[in-house]
Chains A and B, each alone.
Chain A
Amino acid sequence: MTEYLIRRILQSVLVLFLISILTFLMIHAAPGGPTQIFLAPGLSPEAAKIQAHNLGLDRPVPVQYAIWLGNLMQGDLGHTFKNHIPVGDILWPTVKNTMVLMGAAWLFSLLIAVPWGIYNSTREYGLSDQTASFVSYIGFAMPTFWFGIILQEYFSLKLDWLPLSDMYTMGKEGNLGDLFMHLILPVSVLTIGFLAAYSKYARASMLEVLNQDYIRTARAKGLKERRVIFRHALRNALIPIITILGLDLPILVSGAALTERVFNWPGMGRLFVDMAVAREYSVLMSITLVVSVIVVLGNLLADILYAIVDPRVQLGSKGGSAT
């Protein structure tokens, strides 16, 4: 296990390194640059050159990359070009805000979706199952921003029960009750989306297990249905679900840009769009890096969890599974 972990971590570092090079090249390949945004009418070409030079933007891209990487190794994410604000000051609050929103939505949907999906698998095509299918279709089909606007119109403007947008009321930053009120609407929108996928996964996974021979054997032995489900089936049914959850982890940081936009949530999705327009390379690189790290970690976590819940899987030096 330890050997396996070390190998995976080394692989991950290599992957991150390659991702960073690719991202850097792609970002710099986009036409236009950060200078032209602040270079205004009236700034002479010479003055523009001086500015680009001061910012190190006239160096070859590989050199710029090396400098960026060197700074990163020292924990320095760099500064924005336009106003020289440390990238960390801008980035970390948005990462935190997105994780709060997505984490709440994710947990909430899991708590509903997994039990519901499992319940429906034991009563196929019952009322509950039909309802779940209907909700799923809605969740897949409905544009989130549209649903968000509808919720805002009704619950905030018409009934005045809930805040319209943002994370906190002005002046109440950090107040948990206030945060909770602000979370209700965006979490509802996101949950509809998640619910559809997760309840379907749980149901399908459980159904597959319930059709296995060993379940039939257990039932034939006269075990209570409850015991069959919880002792024999559930654990095996959770395996694919856990994998999917691990792979979905990046959603937590990348967030749902549209939902963030509609609810004016100060998160990372919104930041990325703004910074892409402004060609703020350092911020874009940092966002990419954060998301990449989470993706790699999510994959690793999924593999490890898989090994824990499924004893047949061994994280051996060959990495394969032995049955």
Chain B
Amino acid sequence: MRKVPKWFSTMSVIALVGVMIAGCSGNNGNNAETTNNKPANTATTNETTNTNTTNESTNDAATTPDPNTPVDGGTLTVGTFSDIVSVNPIYINDTSSGDIENLINARLYDLDRQGNLAVEPWSIAAELPQVSADGKTYTVKIKSTAKWNDGQPLTADDVVFTYNTIRNPDAGAPGISTVDKVEAINKIDETTIEFKLKQVYAPFQYSLYSSLVPSHILKDVPVKDLKTNAYGVDPTKTVTSGPWKFAEWKQGQYITLEKNPNYWGEKKPHIDKVIYKIYADQNTEVQALIKGDIQMSEAIPVTQIEGVKANDKLQVILEPGPQYEYVQFNFKDENFPDKYSPFKGQKTRQAIATALNRQGMVDNVLKGTGKLMNSPFMPGSWADPGDQAVNYPYDAEKAKALLAEDGWVAGKDGILVKDGHRFSFELQYNAGNSRREQVAAVIQQNLKDVGIEVTPKGIDFATWIDQNITPGKFPAILLSWSLNNPDPDAESIFSSKYYPPTGQNGGWYKNEAIDALWTKGQLTIDQAERAKVYQEIGKEISIDLPYVFLYQYGLPQVVDASKVKWAEEDAPESSLGYGYLYHAINWWVTE
């Protein structure tokens, strides 16, 4: 029997289907491993970074409302580095598939720039969900005008069918944990659906930020066969409800989307055709941008930013996105060769945070595409603890003092020793991810300066997840979380209720006070009250440091501003998952 990863249990509280990107290509910053819901309610209105001071006009073209009204027609070709798996929303588990799925499906609810649930002209819902006084019933009303692209009406049946399928363990849907608090889903009438929860669970609102599947197409397919069904893989069998439809997929080469002739929304898309072209090599992809073969890339390597900026027509959007990198400590003794975890002292962990030159990493490795983080919540989001979270400025001397206070003394070879154990550990990351490779080298040097020996080790991604991350067998790791879901709840990562194999607390961290706060956050419906809970968690966790939070980082998005246009209110929103396509329905292209 193959050991399958036991990602999280049904009990976990994750509100999002994440993606793991192994990042095979050298420099790509897009190697987040996603998990669960997380914060990310960036309140900054994302002004696209002005990248070319000598060339204001180019940027203006893309960021200010064009005096010309949008034109219909044309093709937008987007470069990407990995192929899709399936665009069936029930099984989306990778960003490439998610990109496509975003364009061909209408969602029940959408998000505003602050990450709040929103009803847009292109959302299926007609109004925000009504929550009952006891917080356990969510009533959703959908528009009566919504249709599938085969002309069939989209009704409450589709909503019930989609959510019931995700809840069914036989379906193997990655999003099962987002609906595990649901007791029943009832169709009230053709446009009204009622979700009844077993308990009060505030993160549930974001489970409604989801696409639907057509019950009239899939209701007769046995649930266990859904995964192997052609829906989501074969364009001729994939009926969707969004502005574009899935027209062609040439494996490993490109995906073509065409305007949906039966699109029901009042606002129609302007762009006729969207093509996703897959580039195996990121250098080639950047050359294709310069040549004009493609008009957009969701992420280019940070090393290429300067070269792209030199080109007048290309605009680089450099805002840090919804993902953060961290160093995770393991507290279980048997994960160390000498059966001793050196990370148990709080002062030791604070010393490590102080010894790391995080700002140096942002400036030199990320080329400025990041911001320091001190808690697991997105800076600027409603849950952001701000200054309440402790910041650890780089200070090697202070780090040495903290280590000494915690009982570490220099050994013969200059490496610190405590109770007969040398302070030496292996730091694992996924091989081939050049950003992590460089950051691991910085960590090694920074910690060497204070008497700690670090051995960085790159491991093949699939192997690493299977053998180390999932079972919680590692000394320390360098990894990221992607926060595609705006809910700040991260219990399944930090709570002692979620040790492997149940959840993702692979470092075997335990802090009862914080455990209780996660629960409190789930039981508080009022957002202002909830925010206070997460600020409290942010403060506590930044003192206790199960992780060293390094920085939030961005994937530099590039747009050919001479061809791709949008009004200011429709500009990409880097702080959201898939935010680089924000309001793409309103964009237009000029030939």
Contact = CB atoms under 8 A, between A and B. Distances in A.
Contacts of A274: 24, 82-83, 252
A260 B279 CA distance: 11
A57 interface: yes
B34 A41 contact: yes
B466 A32 contact: yes
B342 interface: no
Contact of A279 (B35, B252, B462, B470): B462
B504 A33 contact: no
Given A41-B174, A273-B24, A277-B461, A164 B2 contact: no
B224 interface: yes
Contacts of B5: 35-36, 39, 48
A35 B176 CA distance: 16
Nearest to B501: A45
B284 A42 contact: no
A71 to B, nearest CB: 15
Interface stretch (A148-156, A209-217, A237-245, A292-300): A148-156
A46 B8 CA distance: 10
A112 interface: no
Contacts of A89: 251
Contacts of A79: 228
B93 interface: yes
A275 to B, nearest CB: 10
B17 A170 contact: no
Interface string B4-35: 11111110101011111010100000000011
B463 interface: yes
B201 interface: no
B288 interface: yes
A72 interface: no
Given A39-B5, A90-B251, A83 B86 contact: yes
B465 interface: yes
A174 B89 CA distance: 33
A30 interface: yes
Nearest to A33: B2
Contacts of A93: 251
Interface in A175-194: none
Interface stretch (A4-12, A195-203, A264-272, A309-317): A264-272
Contacts of A165: 279, 284, 287-288, 293
B339 interface: no
A264 B288 CA distance: 11
B535 interface: no
B39 interface: no
A84 interface: yes
B291 interface: yes
A42 B280 contact: no
B177 A42 contact: yes
- Tell which of B227, B279, B284 has the most Cβ of chain A within 10 Å: B284
B254 interface: yes
Given A149-B283, A170-B77, A263-B284, A50 B178 contact: no
B477 interface: no
B85 interface: yes
A43 interface: yes
A52 B174 contact: no
Contact of A41 (B8, B24, B224, B252): B8
Contact of B287 (A33, A51, A164): A164
B233 interface: yes
A319 interface: no
Contacts of A149: 283
Contact of A54 (B16, B227, B250, B463): B227
A184 B284 CA distance: 16
A250 to B, nearest CB: 21
Give the contact-size bracket for chain B: 35 or more
B174 A40 contact: yes
A42 B176 contact: yes
B176 A47 contact: yes
Contacts of B227: 51, 54, 84
B178 A42 contact: yes
B91 interface: yes
Given A37-B462, A273-B24, A48 B252 contact: no
Give the contact-size bracket for chain A: 35 or more
B26 to A, nearest CB: 11
A36 B19 CA distance: 11
B275 interface: yes
B467 interface: yes
A50 B170 CA distance: 7
Interface string B480-504: 0000000000000000000001001
A96 interface: no
Contact of A30 (B251, B463, B470): B463
A260 B278 CA distance: 13
A31 interface: yes
B47 to A, nearest CB: 31
Contacts of B172: 39, 43, 47-48, 50-51, 54
Contact of B93 (A40, A94, A260, A270): A40
Contacts of B91: 38
Nearest to B35: A41
A225 B279 CA distance: 54
A170 B248 CA distance: 12
A274 B462 CA distance: 12
A261 interface: yes
Contacts of B291: 156-157, 160, 164
B4 A49 contact: yes
Given A38-B91, A82-B85, A165-B284, A52 B36 contact: no
B170 to A, nearest CB: 6
B253 interface: yes
A49 B287 CA distance: 44
Given A42-B17, A45-B6, A165-B288, A36 B176 contact: no
A95 B170 CA distance: 36
Interface in A270-288: 270-271, 273-274, 277-279
B66 interface: no
Interface string A82-107: 11110001100110000000000000
B247 interface: no
A201 B452 CA distance: 56
Nearest to B24: A277
10 contacts: A36-B5, A42-B178, A48-B172, A52-B4, A54-B172, A84-B228, A156-B287, A157-B290, A261-B281, A262-B281
Q: What 4 pairs across the A-B complex have the smallest Cβ distances?
A: A40-B174, A32-B462, A42-B177, A32-B466
Given A42-B17, A48-B7, 11 more contacts: A31-B460, A35-B5, A38-B91, A40-B7, A41-B14, A45-B6, A54-B172, A89-B251, A170-B77, A260-B280, A263-B284
